[in-house]
Amino acid sequence: MRKALYLLFLPLIAIVAGCGGQQMKKQELAVTPIVAETVNQVITELVNKHGEDYRFRIERGVNQVAQLWRESDGSTDDFSGFCNEKFIASPEELDLVFNKLMVNYEILSGHLMKIKKDLMRPLHLDLGPIHHVDVMFGSYEPGAHIQEDFYTNKIGFMVALNFPFYTLAEKTNLGTNWSRKQWAFARVGDYYTSRVPAELIQQVSTNDTETDNYIAEYNIYMGKLVNNNGETLFPDDLRLITHWGLRDELKSNYADERGLEKQNMIYSVMKRIIDQSIPEKVINNNAYVWNPIENKLYKNDTSLNFTSEPDTRYLRLLNSFKANKNLDPYYPKFPTYIQRQFEANMEIPQKDVEQLFTEFISSPQVKEVATLISERLGRPLEPFDIWYNGFKARGTYTEEQLNEIVKAKYPDVGAFQADLDLILRKLGYDKDKASFLASQVKVESSRGAGHAWGATMRQDKALLRSRIGAGGMDYKGYNIALHEFGHNVEQTISLHDVDYYVLNRVPNTAFTEALAFIFQKRDLEMLGLKDKDPMKEHMLALSNFWSSYEIMGVSLVDIRVWEWMYANPDATPASLKEAVIRIAKEVWDQFYAPVFGMQDEPILAIYSHMITNPLYLSNYPLGHLIDFQIEQHIRDKDFAAETQRMFKQGSIIPQEWMKGAVGMEISILPSLEATTKAVKALRE
């Protein structure tokens, strides 16, 4: 999973707020003292001074400054004087200021990001037990006050005055004809459209860290699980994080002779987590034996009464909603968290995303692929077969075989770090580029499931984190590491190779997920396990299709839960839990029950992203669609050259990026068409 981008100057990141469920201090919403008459007068003065050619910039800039101005910033005369003095008409001077902004923003954002990453090390890395002081330092947001500081010293107002903000619709209509510099100027215009109190930003960071830590420490000791006969099915030392570890273990058991029994046990654990009937004592604790099927707890062969987890999962989600709703008034252009995520962060309208997803998961290809999977398994589908991985080469290997290969190759962090250069050269990057990209990534063993955290200045390094145990890296850790390495490569290319700093990174996180998926699916190839299957291309199409089908439903649940919370702002954790389970079942019954043959399954509610990264999940299915379109485009081209060409485009809007990369916008049609061909080919 990609670590959320540290947007220092545009605090629209997916952030979780609230202080451990306590009431947040009420914030007084400041209102501008600048009236329309003053705004119009200033606009007239500036147009008369500089000419009609500058009217658009003047009108946009003056209105933007007026919207952000507070009594503490000065009087009406101060506002008028500032606009008349600081508006830049000269193109040469505007270029000069722009270039200085690029240098200074990289200095500020880069160093503050590095401080944040370093303070989070005890929470993200397995450096021993977490002390509450670690959480306190990790919760500290070093950039919390910088936006307000920049309004106080008037830098923010100068930028807002001279670099117009464009709506998504305007970027879509105008961006096709923009030069790279015009795109960069427009991105600067995105920086100052809101004015969120520093206290709220800091509270956001505090609860975000606490929630991340809650999930990072949510492990299940699989060797302590027993079935109804008292048998253990998993190794005694196997500890899995929810949901990632549980899901990946379930996926790995398709080739195991007792795989179906193991998968049913894992699904029982998932359902206990979803409905919060899980015994609180089994979370990250190996002192008890637990039968998740009948939900019975034992110690020394004695059955125990227990307390279930007290809806903590949903309390965390509710805190996120309340905090982000409290921020709504400070974003006049994006007045709900849902709008901020789709229109500001993702830059694809929510309705367009939902339409893509519902059309895809309602397509006739779904039943065709489901029937094919059932035939390959030799049994009716189970709910957890949404994670069927038999279309991948690794589906023919057992977990034990893959673990043995990976542990021998990567006994420690250093071994994987040393191999980054070779992995890149295997993918086609030339010696110099591979060496450079590898040198910009630092590998570390993660406390949680793993993540990639990019740099925001060229003097810093991207971080690659995956779980690496004392016995070496196992296959799950390796597979995650390849995924995160894909993120790191994107992060490095789109920081170092982009032409303007303000355009660094990608349009949204779906694009970095796409490259991560592209790297991840080549995991066996990087191990030297060649897939000589003549049906490989068709199998990849089916794998991408089924992965998209699964995660699109999860994403729809995520969206509908947030819509429900906005409609029910006074919800309790218990009522939210009921709503999440109901919504998950409704989405299942609408799009999955007709295919799987069973109703009221809650499995779509298991994803931890719903708790730690709300409304992030839509990036994964979009990433799958983008991944597939990129794969089709580069299959007869130079992999390394094409990925470098694509990702140096930087953070222009998504559909423009796609047209520049593959010649068409994001679409479900390539995947659907390839799936139809694949099913036909496998049946011939």
Q: CB 42: neighbour CB atoms within 10 A?
A: 25
DSSP H/E element including 58? helix 55-68
Report the pLDDT value the prediction gives residue 7, as an integer from 0 to 100: 41
Q: Tell me the per-residue pLDDT of 30-86, one tens digit each, with 9 for 90 and over.
A: 689 999 999 999 999 999 999 999 999 999 999 999 999 999 999 999 999 999 999
Q: Tell me the per-residue pLDDT of 106-156, one tens digit each, with 9 for 90 and over.
A: 999 999 999 999 999 999 998 889 998 998 898 888 888 888 899 999 999
CA 211, CA 313: separation in Å to the nearest integer? Answer: 9
More confident position, 386 or 200: 386
CA 57, CA 84: separation in Å to the nearest integer? Answer: 13
Range scoring the smallest mean pLDDT among 383-387, 518-522, 675-679: 518-522
Confidence of residue 11 (pLDDT cuts 50, 70, 90): very low
More confident position, 578 or 536: 578
Q: Which residue has the tokens 């970027």?
A: 171
Contact yes or no for 168/217 (Cβ under 8 A): no
pLDDT(656) > 70: yes
Contact yes or no for 97/88 (Cβ under 8 A): yes
Angle at 197 between CA 194 and CA 201, to 5 degrees: 95
CA 296, CA 288: separation in Å to the nearest integer? Answer: 10
Q: Which amino acid is at 392?
A: K
Whole-number Cα distances in Å, 627 to 48, 491, 621: 51, 16, 9
Asked whether the whole model's pTM tops 0.75, one would answer yes
CA 606, CA 253: separation in Å to the nearest integer? Answer: 19
> 235, 222, 147: which is closest to 191 by C-alpha?
147
Q: Which residue has the tokens 């819509």?
A: 563
pLDDT(323) > 90: no
Non-local (6+) Cβ contacts of 156 within 8 A are 68, 147, 150, 191, 192
Helices (H) and strands (E) in the chain, counts: 31, 8
Q: CB 96: neighbour CB atoms within 10 A?
A: 12
Report the pLDDT value the prediction gives residue 621, as an integer from 0 to 100: 96
50 backbone dihedrals φ, ψ, rounded to 5°: -110, -15
Angle at 292 between CA 288 and CA 293, to 5 degrees: 145
Confidence of residue 450 (pLDDT cuts 50, 70, 90): confident
CA 658, CA 7: separation in Å to the nearest integer? Answer: 23
CA 442, CA 461: separation in Å to the nearest integer? Answer: 7
Q: Tell me the per-residue pLDDT of 344-358, one tens digit each, with 9 for 90 and over.
A: 999 999 999 999 999
Contact yes or no for 386/441 (Cβ under 8 A): no
CA 119 to chain centre: 21
